Amino acid sequence: MPSSSHDSTTQPLRIASINTNGIRAAFRKGMGDWLATRDVDILAIQEVRGATEDIEALLGPDWSILHDAASAKGRAGVAIASRKSASIHRVELGHPDFDSAGRWLEADYEVNGKIVTVVSTYVHSGEVDTPKQVEKFTFLDSMLTRLPELAAHSERVVVLGDLNVGHRKFDIKNWKGNVKRAGFLPEERAYFDRILGAEDEADYNNGAGLGWVDVGRKAAGEVDGPFTWWSWRGQAFDNDTGWRIDYQLATPALAASVVNYTVDRADAYDQRWSDHAPVVVDYAI
């Protein structure tokens, strides 16, 4: 691994997010090669599926590692790796079922005299009419409570990770076939309406918007994708039949500093090291 990243005092802060689907497997397939050339300052990881020692061994000594492992071994797990140590980190989504359960990790970083709060999160995938979907809604409810608290804590916050919801029709290639499936349910999408809605616009069904910004949609505009997840099965990747479920959601002040947004889609199916693609954003702070 390179010994240092770019100088954040002269270049934008590069924040990346990736669901590794198991970090050890991802490194065996090529994640290390990607990371060695991508010049990332802060890396949010979901579905670590390993121990802190695994992350430290794979990334090497040049990274400061924060890790909240899943309660069940080999499941979930979120981490934040950074070139500079966090000033403080927290695991406090607020709901007792999720704190220290490998799905929500916060960290504060000082960047050019300003505090940037980074959250790595892995939202439940859910399953209609099962307890898994109830857990997902409970988690999303907790997010609605925590996000305003984070915005009050710092004006520069980014929540990034695998949020397991396609917000709009642009976010799923085959949206018509998924309107009754977890990940594109109207009830799930309504949470994103609330999170991303304008603060001064009250919605009768959803309440007042929280005013956060979907960095990916703002950068891409009103177009399909760019997708961030494709099934391993069939021709989904080759045909770009994907979902955009990996996000960077930022407070307005941080979103205003975005200078570049990229989804690092693999060039070919056999070059993939996860079923997700990294989402990389440069913030000029």
Question: Does residue 8 sit within a domain?
Answer: no
Q: Is residue 186 part of a domain?
A: yes
pTM: 0.93
Residue 229 belongs to a domain: yes
Query: Containing domain of residue 225, as a range?
Result: 13-283
Q: What are phi and psi of 243, to 5 degrees?
A: -125, 145
pLDDT values of the chain reduced to their tens digit, one per residue, 285 residues? 333 345 545 799 999 999 999 999 999 999 999 999 999 999 999 999 999 999 999 999 999 999 999 877 767 999 999 999 998 898 878 777 777 689 999 999 999 999 999 999 999 999 999 999 999 999 999 999 999 999 999 999 999 999 999 999 999 999 999 999 999 999 999 999 999 998 766 554 556 799 999 999 999 999 999 999 999 999 999 999 999 999 999 999 999 999 999 999 999 999 999 999 999 999 999
What number of other Cβ atoms are within 10 A of residue 11's Cβ? 14
CATH number at residue 187: 3.60.10.10
Is 278 among the domain residues? yes
User: Per the domain annotation, does 3 fall within a domain?
Assistant: no
* Furthest CA-CA distance within the chain: 52
The pLDDT assigned to 94 comes to 76
- 195 vs 249: CA distance, rounded Å: 9
So what's the pLDDT on residue 72? 73
Query: What beta strand segments (E) does 100-252 contain?
Result: 104-111, 114-122, 157-162, 202-203, 207-208, 213-214, 246-250
Predicted pLDDT of residue 70: 86
Number of domains, the chain: 1
pLDDT on residue 2: 35
d(CA 158, CA 69): 21
